[in-house]
Amino acid sequence: MSLPIQLISTDFDGTIFAEFENPPIPPRLVALIGDLQARGAKWVINTGRDMSSLMEALARSKISIQPDYLVLVEREIYQHDGVRYAPLIEWNTTCDRDHAELFKRVQPEVGRLTDWVNANFRATVYADPYSPFCLIAGNNGEADLIHARLDEFCLRFPELTVVRNDVYARFSHVTYNKGTALAELTRRLRLTRKQVFAAGDHLNDLPMLKLEFARCLVTPANGIESVKTVVRQQQGFISQFPNGAGVAEGLEFHLRPR
């Protein structure tokens, strides 16, 4: 019988990687994913990190396997070509172009938004190559308040959305997120959503934690309540274990014949 899971999409931080654990990615999960890769399944790390930050953390975790694909900054796709992670040019170019066009229109309004945040909160606001507005809030309560204001701001630009992960937030184009990137990989691999597994713990994972994109949904014990609710509503698996141990349990759950 063919493998029921052909594409494994895992968020990184808080999902497979626990910064302060040793090792940060548990050997049981590495063994499980390695075994599935040996049997033909593909693994994608679907993260908000950029390339250098992910490579640094992966190197530090000293695992014996490597992802076949990366989704970086929740939107760019890279494929391991045997030597390095090469961009999927067609997707990434369109993604860049759509963001540039959108952010050009948003840019003139960002100053007032930044002023409002700085006047009301002790938060860090900056621009980077991925967004004209990036936020690091002082705590999650303040991040919630700022997030509400950002959602309101987005109403003026139908293609603009907020990507939030814990106290971090940035703007993005609605067409590109962890879910649509996963759908693109599923399409390229000529698979269907029935063969796809997705695991995540936080708000930026919600776009991929949908039955529309993956039949097998998992959140580890440390997943935030709103993520657990969404996964539970779709008959996904909520592990009693945190981080990578939870993802391993979720993989075993979805691999079990039912």
Q: Given the rule CB under 5 A, which residues bind Mg ion?
A: 11, 13-14, 201-202
Q: Which residue has the tokens 């907020």?
A: 162
Q: Shortest approach of Mg ion to residue 57 CB, angstroms?
A: 12
Q: Which is nearer to Mg ion, 132 or 223 (CB)?
A: 223
- Closest residue to Mg ion using C-beta atoms: 14
Q: Which is nearer to Mg ion, 184 or 201 (CB)?
A: 201
Q: Which is nearer to Mg ion, 74 or 249 (CB)?
A: 74
Strands 7-10 and 196-199, how do they pair?
parallel
Burial of 188 (0-12, 13-18, 19+ CB in 10 A): middle
Q: Which is nearer to Mg ion, 117 or 198 (CB)?
A: 198
Q: Shortest approach of Mg ion to residue 24 CB, angstroms?
A: 13
**Three-state secondary-structure class, residue 75:** coil
Q: Shortest approach of Mg ion to residue 144 CB, angstroms?
A: 17
Q: How far apart are CA 35 and CA 33, in angstroms?
A: 5
Q: How far apart are CA 214 and CA 195, in angstroms?
A: 7
Q: Which is nearer to Mg ion, 5 or 247 (CB)?
A: 247
Q: Shortest approach of Mg ion to residue 91 CB, angstroms?
A: 22
**Three-state secondary-structure class, residue 146:** helix
Q: Shortest approach of Mg ion to residue 166 CB, angstroms?
A: 8
Question: For 91, which DSSP code?
Answer: H
Q: Which is nearer to Mg ion, 6 or 165 (CB)?
A: 165
C-beta atoms surrounding 142 within 10 Å: 17
Residue pair 7/36 in contact by the 8 Å Cβ criterion: no
**Three-state secondary-structure class, residue 134:** strand
Q: Shortest approach of Mg ion to residue 172 CB, angstroms?
A: 16
| Complete edge-to-edge strand list for the sheet that includes strand 7-10 | 85-87, 76-80, 69-72, 42-46, 7-10, 196-199, 216-219, 237-238
